[in-house]
Amino acid sequence: MTDSEHKRRLTELLNEIAGADLQIETPGTMEERVLRRWDAGATARAARIRWKPRPRGWLISGAGALAAAILLLVVVNRSSREPITVPVPVAHSDVRAQPTAAKAPTAAAPFPAVAPTPIAIGRNEPEKGQRRMDTLGEIVSFMPLSPDAHQGLVGSFQVARVLLPREVLADLGVVLDANRVGEPIQADVVFGEDGLARAIRLAQQDTGRSQ
């Protein structure tokens, strides 16, 4: 058989199938069932003011993603503008005005001792954060560990919570409690992009007592 004969035969058979399928009949009870469902839904339809399209899934997802993105932007923007303003337990305000040169770190004092001038930790606007800290007076945040701490924190930085020997506080200008010498103390240390410690903040102790 040639292709055209095959096509002709296929058409014949399809026509025969179509003719045979005309005899397919719907079950007799279907109309009754469908009308019963119509009746059941009539009350609900009458109460409906007008047809309302269902919200599409992708529209909801898109709106949710957009809202989340906006929220994230707001949070990030806010956190980049506001300095970290956790009060430091002790800071001498008179020392703040007279910065001294950094001392070389020792085994007992791993951080170079500098004047504990409070600085604001901000990602993009250190000047603004500094200005705000100035207005806050005694409320201080991180204390710089080197005179150029501001420059070291211009880019990204990391904050790590560490346990330090309590003697380190003396190098920061904090008065030590003689009864508690030897106890470790929790502190948050800011590391610059170069991995060097730039600033420190004394964390609130678990015991509820300050250093």
Closer to other proteins at the Cβ: 10 or 175? 10
Binding-site string for other proteins from residue 22 to residue 61, where x marks contact by CB under 8 A and - marks none? x-xxxx--xx-xxx-xxx-xx--xx----x----------
201: enclosing H helix or E strand:
strand 197-202
16 near other proteins (CB under 8 A) = yes
Q: Compute how many residues bind other proteins; rule: CB under 8 A.
A: 32
Closer to other proteins at the Cβ: 59 or 104? 59
Closer to other proteins at the Cβ: 42 or 74? 42
Of 151, 162, 208, the C-alpha closest to 185 is 162
Q: Which stretch binds other proteins (CB under 8 A): 2-10, 78-86, 100-108, 160-168?
A: 2-10
User: CB of 34: closest distance to other proteins in angstroms?
Assistant: 5
* Exposed/middle/buried for residue 20 (C-beta within 10 Å: 0-12, 13-18, 19+): exposed
Q: Which stretch binds other proteins (CB under 8 A): 8-16, 85-93, 113-121, 171-179?
A: 8-16
94 near other proteins (CB under 8 A) = no
65 near other proteins (CB under 8 A) = no
User: CB of 159: closest distance to other proteins in angstroms?
Assistant: 52
Burial 176-209 (b: 16+ CB within 10 A, else e): eeeeeeeeebebbbbbbeeeebbbbbbbeeeeee
User: CB of 60: closest distance to other proteins in angstroms?
Assistant: 19
User: CB of 56: closest distance to other proteins in angstroms?
Assistant: 13
CA distance 143 to 84: 12
Cβ-Cβ contacts under 8 Å for 84 (sequence gap 6 or more)? 120, 121, 141, 142, 201
CA distance 77 to 65: 18
Closer to other proteins at the Cβ: 24 or 104? 24
DSSP 152-168: HTSS--EEEEEEEETTH
CA distance 159 to 150: 15
User: What residues make contact with other proteins under the rule CB under 8 A?
Assistant: 1, 3, 6-7, 9-11, 13-14, 16-18, 20-22, 24-27, 30-31, 33-35, 37-39, 41-42, 45-46, 51
